[in-house]
Structure 1
Amino acid sequence: MRRFLPQTLPAWVLLIVIAGLMLSQVATLYIVARDRAAANGVVDLYRLNDRAYSLVQLMHDATPEERKATASGLFNSTYALTVSDT
C-alpha cells in the first residue's frame, strides 16, 4: 500500500488539490440535479394550473348538459385534477 501513496510534499499537495476538486465537482452536480428536479416540479404545477384554468373557461360558457357531457368525457382516475359537472 505504501507504494501507491506519494512520498514527497508536492505530490501530497497535488493529490489533496485533485481530491478537493473532485469533491467540489460531485457536490456541484448533486446541487444542480436537486435544483433542476425542484424547478421541473414547479413547471409541472404551472402546466396543471393552465389546464385547470382552460377547463374552467370551457365549462363556464357551457350549458349544464354540455358541462355534464364534458365532465364525463374528461373523467379519468389517473388525473391529478378531478372534473365534475357541479
Structure 2
Amino acid sequence: MAFDLDPSIFISSLRRFRIAALLLCIPFAGCAYTPSEQETKVVTEMKASMRPYGLGRYLIDLPPSWGSFNTDVTFYYGSGVA
C-alpha cells in the first residue's frame, strides 16, 4: 500500500516553523544594550571598591558605603531558652 503525500503539507509546516522561529526571536531583538561611557565609569569605580561580606555560607560583594552591621547572631531555638 503506497501513501500519496501531498507536498503542500510540508510547505505549510515549513511556513509554520518559520513563523514560530520568528516569533520566538522577536523578544531577543532588543537585548543588545551598550552602556554609556558614564555608566561604564560608575560601575568600574563601584566594582573596584567592593568588599566581601558573609551571609550564612555565602559571600556577597557590597560597596563600602553599605555600612557596617552587627554580625553577631542570637540563637534561641534548641538552646534551652524559653
TM-score band, normalised by shorter chain: 0.3 to 0.5
Higher relative contact order (CA 8 A, sep 6+): 1
TM-score (norm 2): 0.36
TM-score (norm 1): 0.35
Q: Which has the higher helix share?
A: 1
